[in-house]
């Protein structure tokens, strides 16, 4: 059916029209040319004894053929005067004598120029002025068929895209979400939102505590969207000053600043056609916020040190572990940008509110480790399960991942017990256990330290344990279950750097 529409139907009709014209008008060469952009004509169909192979790939540049461009502007057929010298349409392509019969008709549908019909005969006086009107009528018919062919090709392409999109969205559920674990109703709601928003092109604002899976969810939205074949580019907005943020986002021209020795593309340019994930958006320097707003609204930007306005087609997904609304109320974040980014807000629940998901995820993570021979028969003891359930998981899934990897390593006999869940033995690391008394108000018998002070002390402890190392295995970030960049920005805020 598709082949019939593209290859047979409209082209066949065009060929039939040219055949009938040959009988009526006695041409030796009839060519239908199509306007492909505003200035180039290419051969669509050709008929008659003078047709040759060179014609098939013949292209006319109207900027160089102003004589033809003028004729096409007039929207009426033009019969060349054989006695007047003119440049032939097919010069060096078809062997035609200097004086011959030549008729050109523009192909218009309403005010849109779609192409041109040419009729030639090596003899003079073959086309009488009387047939010019007739050719004018026929050329209207040819133009309509060309327009129909274009729209049926567009329709078929769109149809193919829709079928591919539908098949992609209807992939079996397990394969779509097989790498993000959790069965709780809270998590199922998140998956439902991912499915819904992936089908649109709306900006998404993902909020949730550190390690709840904001980046994984952003990637999933991209993978399930129609942009999945295009890049997914990330930028962590924390620990970036205004200058660096601008250059990272929009790129810079060579020489824009001292270290700009070459031109560099920014994240918006790299993400063109795809998705840009802006992590820790709350930390985006205030000076850059209006620039991002403009790019989101208009799809345009300039490289640092550049004057040319560039265009981009980028879906932005932003994430924050701070309450962005609260940042707006404190005037730390622009309200207009907040509304622009948060068209579709998505809140990720902390692990402690996801019930038995802790166990589902822990089992799944251990199952992944079982692929290696060393862990093939590892399992959790019942006191370990209890411990996992009662802990409050401030570092969420990332912290759980680290705990499982560490405890599997420590459980030499394959049984992961409660004491393996922390490197020091006994309790799980980090603040807070989730037990029945946790909510009871107790009067402190010592002066209470502020939250910032407690966090600072906790980071100091991690730095001590890791010999001051932040990045990599055994580093403070790993111990705390945070990304190193997040830890650094937190330390900066607490005046520790």
- Residue 6 DSSP code: I
Strand partners, 31: 46, 118
Alpha helices in 229-313 (DSSP H): 242-250, 267-270, 289-298
Shortest Cβ 195–ligand ATP spacing (Å) = 15
Residue placing its CB nearer to ligand ATP in the complex, 214 or 456 = 214
Shortest Cβ 484–ligand ATP spacing (Å) = 10
Residue placing its CB nearer to ligand ATP in the complex, 10 or 182 = 182
Shortest Cβ 341–ligand ATP spacing (Å) = 16
Whether 48 and 30 have beta carbons less than 8 Å apart is answered as: yes
- Residue 429 DSSP code: S
Whether 235 and 267 have beta carbons less than 8 Å apart is answered as: yes
Shortest Cβ 482–ligand ATP spacing (Å) = 6
Shortest Cβ 187–ligand ATP spacing (Å) = 7
Burial class (CB in 10 A: 0-12, 13-18, 19+), 49: exposed
Residue placing its CB nearer to ligand ATP in the complex, 25 or 237 = 237
Whether 208 and 350 have beta carbons less than 8 Å apart is answered as: yes
Residue placing its CB nearer to ligand ATP in the complex, 90 or 380 = 380
Residue placing its CB nearer to ligand ATP in the complex, 59 or 189 = 189
Shortest Cβ 198–ligand ATP spacing (Å) = 16
Give the number of other Cβ atoms within 10 Å of residue 340's Cβ.
17
CA atoms of 333 and 208, how far apart (whole Å): 17
Shortest Cβ 192–ligand ATP spacing (Å) = 14
**Torsion 414-418-419-420 (CA) sign:** positive
Shortest Cβ 352–ligand ATP spacing (Å) = 14
Residue placing its CB nearer to ligand ATP in the complex, 361 or 463 = 361
Whether 43 and 58 have beta carbons less than 8 Å apart is answered as: yes
Residue placing its CB nearer to ligand ATP in the complex, 163 or 216 = 216
Whether 250 and 301 have beta carbons less than 8 Å apart is answered as: yes
CA atoms of 304 and 461, how far apart (whole Å): 41
**Torsion 440-441-444-447 (CA) sign:** positive
Give the CB-side neighbour count of residue 349, counting CA atoms within 13 A: 19
DSSP 3-state of 45? strand
Residue placing its CB nearer to ligand ATP in the complex, 28 or 209 = 209
Strand partners, 117: 32, 105
Shortest Cβ 177–ligand ATP spacing (Å) = 9
CA distances from 424 to 193, 402, 418, 462, 470 (A): 40, 14, 11, 13, 20
**Torsion 387-391-393-397 (CA) sign:** positive
Residue placing its CB nearer to ligand ATP in the complex, 22 or 363 = 363
Whether 108 and 83 have beta carbons less than 8 Å apart is answered as: no
Name, in order, each residue with C-beta under 8 angstroms of 329's C-beta and a sequence gap of 6 or more. Answer: none
Residue placing its CB nearer to ligand ATP in the complex, 204 or 482 = 482
Shortest Cβ 361–ligand ATP spacing (Å) = 6
Shortest Cβ 451–ligand ATP spacing (Å) = 18
CA distances from 204 to 145, 210, 274, 324 (A): 44, 18, 14, 13
Residue placing its CB nearer to ligand ATP in the complex, 10 or 213 = 213
Shortest Cβ 152–ligand ATP spacing (Å) = 45
Binding site for ligand ATP (CB under 6 A): 180-182, 208, 210-216, 279, 319, 321, 361, 397-398, 401, 482-483, 486
Q: Which residue is nearest to ligand ATP (CB)?
A: 213
Name, in order, each residue with C-beta under 8 angstroms of 267's C-beta and a sequence gap of 6 or more. Answer: 233, 234, 235, 248, 249, 276
Residue placing its CB nearer to ligand ATP in the complex, 152 or 364 = 364
């Amino acid at each position: 059916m598709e082949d019939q529409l593209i290859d047979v139907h409209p082209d066949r009709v065009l060929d039939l029209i040219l055949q009938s014209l040959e009988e009526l008008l006695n041409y030796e060469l009839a060519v239908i040319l199509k306007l492909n952009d505003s200035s180039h004509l290419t051969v669509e169909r050709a008929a008659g004894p003078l047709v040759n192979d060179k014609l098939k790939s013949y292209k006319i540049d109207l900027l160089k053929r102003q004589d033809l461009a003028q004729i096409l502007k007039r929207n009426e057929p033009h019969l060349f005067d054989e006695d007047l010298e003119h440049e032939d349409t097919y010069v060096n392509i078809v062997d035609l004598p200097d004086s011959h019969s030549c008729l050109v008709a523009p192909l218009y549908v309403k005010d849109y120029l779609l192409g041109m019909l040419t009729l030639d005969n090596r003899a003079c006086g073959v086309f009488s002025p009387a047939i010019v009107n007739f050719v004018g009528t026929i050329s209207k018919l040819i133009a309509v068929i060309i327009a129909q062919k274009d729209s049926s090709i567009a329709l078929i392409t769109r149809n193919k895209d829709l079928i591919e999109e539908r098949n992609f969205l209807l992939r079996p559920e397990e394969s779509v979400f097989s790498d993000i674990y959790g069965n709780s109703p809270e998590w199922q709601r998140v998956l439902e939102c991912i499915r819904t928003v992936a089908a649109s092109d709306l900006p998404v604002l993902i909020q949730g505590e550190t390690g709840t899976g904001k980046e994984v969810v952003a990637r999933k939205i991209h993978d399930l969207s129609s942009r999945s074949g295009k890049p997914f580019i990330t930028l962590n907005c924390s620990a970036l000053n205004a200058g660096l943020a601008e250059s990272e986002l929009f790129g810079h021209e060579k020489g824009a600043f001292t270290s700009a020795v070459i031109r560099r593309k920014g994240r918006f340019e790299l993400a063109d056609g795809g998705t840009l994930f802006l992590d820790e958006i709350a930390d985006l320097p205030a000076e850059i916020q209006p620039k991002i707003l403009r790019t989101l609204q208009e799809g345009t930007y300039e490289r640092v040190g550049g004057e040319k306005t560039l265009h981009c087609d980028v879906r932005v997904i932003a994430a924050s572990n701070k309450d962005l609304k609260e940042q707006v109320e404190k005037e730390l974040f622009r309200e207009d940008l907040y509304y622009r980014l948060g068209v579709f807000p998505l809140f990720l629940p902390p692990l402690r509110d996801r019930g038995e998901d802790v166990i589902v995820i822990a089992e799944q993570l251990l199952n992944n480790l079982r692929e290696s021979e060393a862990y093939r028969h590892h399992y959790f003891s019942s006191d370990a399960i209890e411990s996992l359930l009662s802990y409050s998981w401030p570092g969420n899934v990332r912290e759980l991942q680290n705990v499982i990897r560490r405890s599997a390593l420590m459980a030499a006999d394959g049984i992961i017990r409660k004491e393996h869940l922390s490197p020091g033995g006994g309790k799980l690391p980090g603040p807070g256990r989730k037990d029945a008394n946790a909510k009871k108000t107790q009067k402190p018998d010592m002066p209470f330290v502020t939250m910032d002070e407690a966090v600072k002390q906790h980071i100091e402890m991690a730095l001590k344990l890791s010999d001051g190392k932040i990045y990599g295995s055994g580093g403070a970030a790993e111990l705390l279950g945070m990304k190193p960049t997040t830890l650094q920005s937190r330390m900066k805020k607490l005046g520790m750097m």
